[in-house]
Amino acid sequence: MIPNVHDPEFWHDELQPLLVDLDFALRVATPKAHAVFDDYLNKPVNRPLLSNLIRYFVLDYLKSHGHSAAEIEDDLDAWGLHGLPNNGIEIIYKRACIRIRKGTEPPCPNTRSQRDFYQQWLWAEDGGEPSISTNLIIMWNLNSALQYEGDMIIMRPLRGNAKWVKLEWSKRVMIQFVNPDVVVGPDYARSSDLPIHSDHDTEGTGTDGDDN
């Protein structure tokens, strides 16, 4: 199937396996990052450092589950302090180059790599045809208590002015999962071509040989 880069519904469905992994990784990583401040540093949460600790644990989880994830470093100074909260993760998945960022809006392009990404320059090996069909962004965010509650958005940047980010579309992520607390009804497990009846259904129908 040729990916429809202009259809957010297509990508929402196509990326579900990755989105499920990412959602779970964020739910695991966030309390781990808070524990660094609570149990080790014994200091109030530093937001930039919290974001990067979450990114560290998420990156470790994604790599351990077979995703070719790499860190994005957009720092502009030698100490790696500039733009610290916006450091992200890049993944090649389902013919898409995906950058995972924290926040509600993509950061303004400060590097050539960012500008090329937003302008939909597609990576090609050895100068041949591009091996990916589009560049996408996944934004995740924390609530007012600095906890992750499933807030993720998929975005497709569009070619435009290189000084800011223009989006073709964005879509809030809905994770498809099976609720283990829901009891499956017996009708769901029955095959429709098997005539399964209860004793009450066959009683008095005249199908029993003793009634003839």
**Could you read off the pLDDT of 76-106 as tens digits, one per residue?**
444 444 444 456 899 999 989 999 999 999 8
In a domain, 210, yes or no: no
pLDDT for the residue numbered 131: 77
In a domain, 191, yes or no: no
pLDDT for the residue numbered 82: 42
In a domain, 204, yes or no: no
Q: How far apart are CA 98 and CA 199, in angstroms?
A: 58
Say which range, 39-48, 52-61, 87-96, 125-134, has the weakest mean pLDDT: 125-134
The yes-or-no verdict on residue 57 having pLDDT over 70 is yes
In a domain, 197, yes or no: no
In a domain, 198, yes or no: no
Owning domain of residue 109: 8-172
Closest CA to 158 of 186, 124, 121: 121
In a domain, 207, yes or no: no
CA dihedral 155, 59, 70, 119 (to 10 degrees): 10
pLDDT for the residue numbered 71: 75
User: pLDDT tens-digit profile of 194-207?
Assistant: 555 555 554 555 54
Q: How far apart are CA 46 and CA 146, in angstroms?
A: 11
More confident site: 200 or 8? 8
In a domain, 54, yes or no: yes
Q: Model-level pTM?
A: 0.74
Say which range, 15-19, 75-79, 146-150, 193-197, has the weakest mean pLDDT: 75-79
Q: How far apart are CA 194 and CA 206, in angstroms?
A: 20
Domain count across the chain: 1
